Every structure is written in structure tokens, then in C-alpha cells.
């Protein structure tokens, strides 16, 4: 049951040097997501034009998992159509429940490193915070 490598370089790097952690001036969609039980907090901003996520960013406070997961998510979905982002998010959330195939995992690219969170139930909420926030935001369309 050792998860010796959970805080690996990809994760810590996204946390320490996030690519998308700033305010997005030309965002046209914004939503705050909060984990009441642990205080994680993310404000997700997207710029969606003609059904495509042209840009995205986030600000917030929280553990490395919640912050890095949001950053990794933005890496994955920026430039993709909304429908594709929703599809990937669905795969990601299924991964957390331990129910995806190897091919699906590959589609998630770096987000695949969060697979083992399934063994850390207390952290699942952290890992999915950004993704749930995005789903809610895109559902608003």
C-alpha cells in the first residue's frame, strides 16, 4: 500500500510552477469551486469561443493535489472543443473511481498520474475539485 511516489515531480512541478495560475482578463466564464471539508478553493476561468476552449486559468488556495490537478486539467483542455473537454473530464472522474482502460488513461496525458488517488479517499475531493468546477461551468452553456 505504499504510495511512495505520489508526490512525484509532475505533481509538485504543477503545484510549484503552475502554467495557468493567474487571472484571465478576457475570460467569459468564471466559477468558484470549494471543498468545505478541507478548505480547498479554486476560481476557474475559461474563454470559450464557438464551442472551443480558447484559454483558461485558475486562482485559488489549497493542497498541492487540488492546485496541480487544476493546472494539469487546463494543460489538457485548452484548445479543445467543449464536448471533448467534457468527455475527458468524464474519463478523469471515472479514473478516480478506478474504472478506466489503459487507452483511456493515455488520453488523459499527465492527468493519469492522479490515478492512485483512488487509494486515498480523503484526497479524492481535492483531485476532482477543478474538474467538477469545469463540468459545472460547461454545463451552464
Which chain residues interact with another protein by CB under 8 A?
A: 1-4, 6-7, 9, 12-13, 15-16, 36-39, 61-65, 119-123, 126
Q: How far is the CB of 83 from another protein (least distance, A)?
A: 31
The whole-angstrom separation of Cα 48 and Cα 90 is: 19
Q: How far is the CB of 38 from another protein (least distance, A)?
A: 6
Q: Which residues contact 108 (CB under 8 A, 6 or more apart)?
A: 76, 88, 91, 92, 95
Q: Show the cell assigned to 90.
A: 468524464
Residue (8 or 28) nearer to another protein, CB: 8
Residue (65 or 134) nearer to another protein, CB: 65
* Angle, in degrees to the nearest 10, between helices 82-96 and 121-139: 160
Q: How far is the CB of 28 from another protein (least distance, A)?
A: 30
Amino acid at each position: 500500500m505504499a504510495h511512495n511516489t505520489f508526490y512525484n515531480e509532475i505533481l509538485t512541478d504543477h503545484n510549484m510552477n503552475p502554467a495557468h495560475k493567474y487571472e484571465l482578463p478576457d475570460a467569459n466564464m468564471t466559477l468558484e469551486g470549494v471543498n468545505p471539508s478541507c478548505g480547498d478553493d479554486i476560481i476557474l476561468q475559461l474563454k470559450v469561443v464557438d464551442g472551443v476552449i480558447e484559454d483558461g486559468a485558475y486562482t485559488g488556495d489549497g493542497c498541492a493535489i487540488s492546485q496541480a490537478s487544476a493546472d494539469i486539467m487546463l494543460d489538457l483542455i485548452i484548445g479543445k472543443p467543449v464536448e471533448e473537454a467534457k468527455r475527458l473530464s468524464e474519463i478523469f472522474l471515472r479514473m478516480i473511481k478506478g474504472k478506466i482502460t489503459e487507452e483511456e488513461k493515455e488520453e488523459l496525458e499527465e492527468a493519469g498520474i492522479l490515478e492512485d488517488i483512488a487509494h486515498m479517499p480523503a484526497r479524492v475531493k481535492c483531485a476532482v475539485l477543478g474538474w467538477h468546477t469545469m463540468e459545472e461551468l460547461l454545463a451552464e452553456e
